[in-house]
Structure 1
Amino acid sequence: MTQILSPDSATAQPVAAPPAAPPAAHGARRTLAILIVILTGQFMAVLDAAIVNVAIPSIRGSLHTSGAALQLIVAGYVIAYAVLLVTGARLGDRFGQRRMFIAGLALFTLASLVCGLAWNEASLIVFRFAQGVGAAAMVPQIMTIIQRTFTGNARAKALSVYSAIISGGMVAGQVLGGLIVSADLWGSSWRGVFLVNVPIGVVLLVLAPRILPTATERFDRKLDLAGLTVLTAAVLALVLPLVLGRELGWPMWAWISLGACVVAFAAFVGIERAVAARGGEPLFSHRVLAAPGLLLAAATLFVIMATFGGWMFVMAIHLQSTLGYSALHAGLLFIPMGVTFAVTGLNWERIPDRYHATMIPFGLVLAAATMVAVGALLRNGADVGPLVLTLLGVCGVGNGLAFSPLMTRTLAKVPMSLAADASGILVTNVQLGIVVGIASFGSLFLGLAGTTTLSASHALGGTAIAEGVTVLVAAGLSARAAR
């Protein structure tokens, strides 16, 4: 018998279901297979938030897209992904993580196929939103499955790999995107960055039903549709003017929308309180938000990923559009950052425990300094040389010392019963940060770029300074969280 539990009650209501084996009964091979399947799904979802960056010039040339449409193509996926993550976590608790993972994976794979077949900018934007919906159904289940399958040191290691994939996947997307666009297999050009998901998704769809646990604890979760509706409206009211405002000359509706987003976020807080007061389950539960260090960690992750997402977007445009590098050349330049990010993110636990509290803010200060230094070296139209590549590698070390430890240390403190919502909240902040970073820093760069190589290079230098200052804000937040 499995049980449907109320997360706010110890009362269990038995329902007919196959008996669930305890996590230890899976065996080492089984748990490794589970981890490979779910983290491959996670990698695909993270990859798609970044892989399009390198394909931007090809998409622009093929579909004749505007700058605003390009930002929506990149950010549209992340908007849907971010807004629906917590609801995806609730659905997993209600219907089972295995079922929701497979359903989300199927939608993600299908949406990837139609993105690769898109015929104009509008269709690509719509299909990218559909990809985000699939990712939002799939990704929250991953953390819950990890929490319920692994224990002790094995759980900490699995969380470290999970965190490293979330962060390193964005860098890997830049590299893989460049390889795929440049390979131009069968004339696919930019379409290959979406179509690559299809065979991987199909393989996972075959393996997942056979490997993932068939019976896990399920909770009788309620969906906060009112909160979801208002949060979606608030996010769109914030992001759309940031994306479209610069290109349209900042019309009045853009300023009205930005003002409305403040009202909408305030309304969202009021709705969440009302839902909690009448015994419902708000999207952002007070019990989850009260978990040790979660709020500060969420705010820090938001700022980190806003700068990181914006940096990747701006650098991809600068390398190809300003310096004239090919997609492959531009993608390969991110390898030093990707390698150091991954290696640091996977090995930070080797650093003595007494340094962990200061390691995160130190890593962010290091990342801020290297961003500004790269911007200064490239601000006069210079090519990327050994010094810039070294600095990008150091930037990866800095981010690796911050992101993975912060995510892992925060989630390790969360009780298992709150795992789904906590991971949903943290990853929601990560994805919203990427959206806001692309919209704000992308608009800043495009607004300053002008029409010459020199003006665009100066724009990169100015944007790098803004990014560095913002990362220092994250460093300050992380220092407070470590107290």
Structure 2
Amino acid sequence: MTTTTAAPATARRAHPLLLTALLTAQFMALLDTSVVNVAGPTIRTDLDTGGAGLQLVVSGYTIVYAMLIVTGSRLGGRHGFRRIFGVGLVVFTAASLACGLAWDETSLIAARAVQGGGAALMVPQVLNLIQATYAGADRARAMGRYAATIAGGMVAGQVLGGLLVSADLFGLSWRPVFLINLPVGIVLYVLARRVLPDGGVPSARGLDLPGLALLAPALLALVVPLVMGHELDWPTWGWVSLAGCVVLFVLFGFVERRASHPLIPAALLRVPGVLPGAVTLLLAMTAFGGLMFSTALYVQGGLGYSALEAGLTFIPASLVFATVSLRWQVLPAAWHPRLPMIGMPIGALGFAANAWTFRTGQPLPVLLATMAAGSFGLGVAYSPVMTLALRRVPLPQVSDASGLMVTMIQLGQVLGVAVFGTLYLSVGGDFHHAGEVTALWIAATVLLTTVPAARLRR
């Protein structure tokens, strides 16, 4: 099978530490996606936050992140990847300080939203630079490390959050989970100034402000009622908001068809692999985000684990995902297009087994084994999905393609927390039953990904 890839634009200027700097930024952003899952109960007690407020602390970051990623990616293409990366890193680090100093629920939610905006400027430049700098086998290896970083960042957030909350450094309780970003952000800024190439995509598209003005309220109208509906007993305004989000998405589609520089160009969606890859990532990350959030609730609220113990339960699954993501290339090349179709059903079986462990109250080693099995399946599929989805994207469309894929990853996590978190909290009965029902729906979502993944093989 003949494939085409974008010619690397910055290969001659690539610094040996370039990938390290990029993946560190990706790691930081993902860390702050998941760190609140474990720190959540402590935050809830300290700030007297309700369940809906806690979900907004978690998802407020990823809502803004998802809304602005395409715009952030396009700004990088127009004004230089290094420049926009640096701006995003400064905003992200400053907002982390504001999170650590938050005095109530409202101030923390607001700071998390600003933090998400910084991540939306910073993170798209990671894929932009991987696409523009590496080609062929080098790009495949970079994608494998990228996928391993995603697994590590998501789970490290759980573990590090548990360690920091349990340590109660200087009597600051949960606040160090955000304050730790300050020294890391400062060091990374200095490194990035030295190793990131200063360039963009000469033909990068302009901004689509009308599209953004419709997409932002559409996402809010979808996520906020899902997050707050359970605690507020599904008020009328929530149903009106959900209906309004449908109208806003229809208007968004209408405006995008006539926009000079649409957020999601039709030409990009016609590139082979891009659309099925984006849908596959959206479904997979919805399931993964829901699994992380609901399992953290199950082991802390149901089994009575501490924040540290809850974080440690995610380590085996993370190691399995990261290892498989790094090693899938050793398989024969003829197998690579089939890996998403192999991995996703394995993942679905693993998460269905999770449902059994929740229902029967199996001991911790059994729960760890079923989570690892599900992560093995996702690990088999994830990096090949990214590689197959982006392999034919021409250089002028790199920024848009990177923005689209990262948007799907982040939007999936938002929907996972909102949908499966609400499902877990809404299901009647004890926590065993809630965990079982939620895990079964997560398994069904993973199995559904085989439909778009099958198109990647073609």
1:418-457 matches, cutoff 5 A = 418-448=397-427, 455-457=430-432
CA contact (8 A) 1:156 1:412 kept: no
CA distance in structure 2 between the partners assigned to 1:352 and 1:22 by the alignment: 29
Deviation of the 1:168 alpha carbon = 3.6
**Partner secondary structure for residue 221 of structure 1:** coil
**Partner secondary structure for residue 15 of structure 2:** helix
CA distance in structure 2 between the partners assigned to 1:206 and 1:357 by the alignment: 39
CA distance in structure 2 between the partners assigned to 1:290 and 1:478 by the alignment: 16
Deviation of the 1:449 alpha carbon = 5.5
Q: For residues 64-113 of structure 1, what are the alpha-carbon distances to aligned partners after superposition, in whole Å with 9 as ceiling and x for unaligned?
A: 11110111000000000001000001111111111000000000000011
Query: Of 313, 328, 336, which residue of structure 2 is paired with 1:348?
Result: 328
**Partner secondary structure for residue 103 of structure 2:** coil
| Residue number in structure 2 paired with 1:209 | 193
Query: Of 132, 141, 145, which residue of structure 1 is paired with 2:125?
Result: 141
Letter in 1 for 2:382: F
CA contact (8 A) 2:298 2:435 kept: yes
Q: For residues 208-243 of structure 1, what are the alpha-carbon distances to aligned partners after superposition, in whole Å with 9 as ceiling and x for unaligned?
A: 112211344444632110000101111111101101
Q: For residues 397-442 of structure 1, what are the alpha-carbon distances to aligned partners after superposition, in whole Å with 9 as ceiling and x for unaligned?
A: 1110111210122122211221111010111011111111110110
CA contact (8 A) 2:337 2:388 kept: no
Deviation of the 1:362 alpha carbon = 2.0
Deviation of the 1:24 alpha carbon = 4.2
User: Do the aligned partners of residues 152 and 293 (structure 1) sit closer, same or farther apart at CA in structure 2, a change above 3 Å counting?
Assistant: closer
1:6-45 matches, cutoff 5 A = 23-26=10-13, 31-45=15-29
Letter in 1 for 2:154: M
Query: Of 348, 361, 366, which residue of structure 2 is paired with 1:387?
Result: 366
**1:282 counterpart = 2:262:** yes
Letter in 1 for 2:416: G
CA contact (8 A) 1:31 1:149 kept: no
CA distance in structure 2 between the partners assigned to 1:22 and 1:318 by the alignment: 47
CA distance in structure 2 between the partners assigned to 1:428 and 1:23 by the alignment: 24
**1:293 counterpart = 2:273:** yes
| Residue number in structure 2 paired with 1:81 | 65
**1:315 counterpart = 2:299:** no
CA distance in structure 1 between the partners assigned to 2:37 and 2:29 by the alignment: 15
**Partner secondary structure for residue 32 of structure 1:** coil
Q: For residues 302-345 of structure 1, what are the alpha-carbon distances to aligned partners after superposition, in whole Å with 9 as ceiling and x for unaligned?
A: 11111110110000111111111011111111111000000001
User: Do the aligned partners of residues 136 and 24 (structure 1) sit closer, same or farther apart at CA in structure 2, a change above 3 Å counting?
Assistant: closer
User: Do the aligned partners of residues 116 and 222 (structure 1) sit closer, same or farther apart at CA in structure 2, a change above 3 Å counting?
Assistant: same
**1:117 counterpart = 2:101:** yes
**1:272 counterpart = 2:239:** no
**Partner secondary structure for residue 17 of structure 2:** helix
**Is the deviation greater in 170-179 or in 316-325?**
170-179
Query: Of 463, 466, 469, which residue of structure 1 is paired with 2:438?
Result: 463
CA distance in structure 2 between the partners assigned to 1:22 and 1:269 by the alignment: 32
User: Do the aligned partners of residues 394 and 58 (structure 1) sit closer, same or farther apart at CA in structure 2, a change above 3 Å counting?
Assistant: same
CA distance in structure 1 between the partners assigned to 2:362 and 2:200 by the alignment: 56
Of structures 1 and 2, the larger Rg is shown by 1
Deviation of the 1:265 alpha carbon = 0.6
| Residue number in structure 2 paired with 1:94 | 78
1:64-79 matches, cutoff 5 A = 64-79=48-63
| Residue number in structure 1 paired with 2:319 | 339
**Partner secondary structure for residue 110 of structure 2:** helix
| Residue number in structure 2 paired with 1:234 | 218
**1:413 counterpart = 2:392:** yes
Letter in 1 for 2:455: R
Letter in 1 for 2:54: L
Aligned positions, number? 451
CA distance in structure 2 between the partners assigned to 1:288 and 1:322 by the alignment: 45
| Residue number in structure 1 paired with 2:351 | 371
CA distance in structure 2 between the partners assigned to 1:340 and 1:32 by the alignment: 27
**Partner secondary structure for residue 407 of structure 2:** helix
Deviation of the 1:22 alpha carbon = 6.7
CA contact (8 A) 1:45 1:135 kept: yes
Letter in 2 for 1:23: T
| Residue number in structure 2 paired with 1:127 | 111
Q: TM-score, normalised by structure 1?
A: 0.90
User: Do the aligned partners of residues 317 and 220 (structure 1) sit closer, same or farther apart at CA in structure 2, a change above 3 Å counting?
Assistant: closer
Q: For residues 368-397 of structure 1, what are the alpha-carbon distances to aligned partners after superposition, in whole Å with 9 as ceiling and x for unaligned?
A: 11112122122244442x222222222221
Ranges in structure 1 where 5+ consecutive residues have no aligned partner: 1-20
CA contact (8 A) 2:203 2:396 kept: no
| Residue number in structure 2 paired with 1:185 | 169
CA distance in structure 2 between the partners assigned to 1:207 and 1:256 by the alignment: 48
| Residue number in structure 2 paired with 1:480 | 455
CA contact (8 A) 2:276 2:389 kept: no
| Residue number in structure 2 paired with 1:328 | 308
Q: For residues 104-158 of structure 1, what are the alpha-carbon distances to aligned partners after superposition, in whole Å with 9 as ceiling and x for unaligned?
A: 0000000011101111111110000001000000111111212222233212211
CA distance in structure 2 between the partners assigned to 1:22 and 1:249 by the alignment: 53
Letter in 2 for 1:431: Q
Deviation of the 1:54 alpha carbon = 0.7
CA distance in structure 2 between the partners assigned to 1:376 and 1:58 by the alignment: 29
CA distance in structure 2 between the partners assigned to 1:448 and 1:264 by the alignment: 30
CA distance in structure 1 between the partners assigned to 2:173 and 2:64 by the alignment: 25
CA contact (8 A) 2:145 2:326 kept: yes
Deviation of the 1:164 alpha carbon = 2.6
**Partner secondary structure for residue 65 of structure 1:** coil
CA distance in structure 2 between the partners assigned to 1:217 and 1:417 by the alignment: 6
Deviation of the 1:358 alpha carbon = 2.7
| Residue number in structure 2 paired with 1:12 | none
Q: Percent identity?
A: 49
User: Do the aligned partners of residues 216 and 359 (structure 1) sit closer, same or farther apart at CA in structure 2, a change above 3 Å counting?
Assistant: closer
**1:360 counterpart = 2:344:** no
User: Do the aligned partners of residues 219 and 329 (structure 1) sit closer, same or farther apart at CA in structure 2, a change above 3 Å counting?
Assistant: same
**Is the deviation greater in 290-299 or in 334-343?**
290-299
Query: Of 51, 55, 60, which residue of structure 1 is paired with 2:39?
Result: 55
Q: TM-score, normalised by structure 2?
A: 0.95
CA distance in structure 2 between the partners assigned to 1:121 and 1:91 by the alignment: 32
Letter in 2 for 1:104: G
